[in-house]
Homo-oligomer: A and B are copies of this chain.
Amino acid sequence: MELLFLGTGAGVPAKVRNVTSLALKLLEERNAVWLFDCGEATQHQILSTSLKPRKIEKIFITHLHGDHIFGLPGLLGSRSFQGGTSLLTIYGPKGIKEFIEVSLKISETHLQYPLEIIEMEEGVIFDDGQFKVEALPLDHALPSWGFRIIESDKPGTLMAEKLEAEGVFPGPHYKELKAGKSVQLDDGRIIHGPDFLGPDQKGRIVAILGDTRPCENAVHLASEADVLVHEATFSGDSSEMAHRYFHSTTLQAAEIAKKADAFKLVLTHISSRYGKADWNTLRDEARTIFPDAEIANDFLEVPVPYRSTGGASLK
């Protein structure tokens, strides 16, 4: 599980930062990629990565501002052109369906895969046992949403060495023991799965938030998240401007991460008023409040490892 930032700018594209898009790579977990927002030229950015459009399984749209959605029609068409045939599901605010359907109709784009568009409501919007996604509204100029992606806990792995020490070797018994059952060995002994299982592996949590002022729902979504992705359109001293434009400062994003007891914070949606020379300053502002803060650049990849809870080798 890795985050790959495809666009980290605000409002309009610039040479150094494209408009917003973020890929959550779930290749090991489900051979799929989930996209969060799709500003114009997201498909162009993808050309500079190893991402395959046909592996994009879900697209989550935080809000309908152009810098977060204008890349959708082109990406949907290219996914088809490049051989995508599997279901694609798009979750977004009310209105996203009309935008996509009109764009595809007018351009006579005929997709070679089924497309499902879900205009979401607050709460759990997806849950397949492996991953659950919750959506809550934030505080922006138009309805903007944040997402909390929760991986299920995994049962611990079988302790093969301990079993071999008991004279139990790989075979049919292993599957049952792994499932936590008890089995009778050939010599009559009965052994119990839980005695040979490592600790449960707690699933990871990623919070990805749309444009917003600081708000309570941001804290809920980010609660104990392994990674929180939060916008930081403005520097710490511009809270008045941030408020006026329904955005957050670096310091406000860091406060959210701190209140939520998140593990790591990545700042994105950086205004083009800040040049290269300012980026470390922005990051350091956030670090005064929340030390494990980073600033995203286009193509930054952030791994989301399991936290070491005694089961560190389980990945």
Contacts and interface: CB of A to CB of B under 8 A. Distances in A.
Contact of A108 (B65, B71, B81): B65
Interface string A57-88: 00000001111011101100110011000000
Copies in the complex: 2
A103 B73 CA distance: 11
Contacts of A11: 81
A313 B242 CA distance: 56
Given A15-B48, A98-B106, 8 more contacts: A11-B81, A12-B43, A13-B43, A15-B47, A40-B44, A66-B74, A99-B106, A108-B141
A251 interface: no
Interface string A113-147: 00000000000000000000000000001100000
Interface of A: 11-15, 18-19, 40-41, 43-44, 47-48, 64-67, 69-71, 73-74, 77-78, 81-82, 95-96, 98-99, 102-103, 106-109, 141-142
Given A40-B40, A40-B71, A77-B66, A14 B47 contact: yes
A245 B275 CA distance: 46
A1 B12 CA distance: 29
Contacts of A95: 106
A99 B98 CA distance: 10
A71 B42 CA distance: 12
Contacts of A141: 108
B70 A73 contact: yes
A107 B73 contact: no
10 contacts: A11-B81, A12-B77, A12-B78, A18-B44, A66-B74, A66-B103, A70-B74, A96-B106, A99-B102, A108-B142
A95 to B, nearest CB: 5
Contacts of A81: 11-12
Nearest to A68: B107
A43 B66 CA distance: 13
B47 A44 contact: no
A43 B40 contact: yes
A118 B34 CA distance: 39
Most buried by B among A47, A65, A99, A106: A106
Contacts of A82: 12
Contact of A73 (B18, B41, B66): B66
Nearest to A12: B78
Contacts of A70: 40, 70, 73-74, 103, 107
A14 to B, nearest CB: 7
Contact of A106 (B14, B48, B64): B64
Contacts of A48: 15
Nearest to A15: B47
A69 B14 CA distance: 20
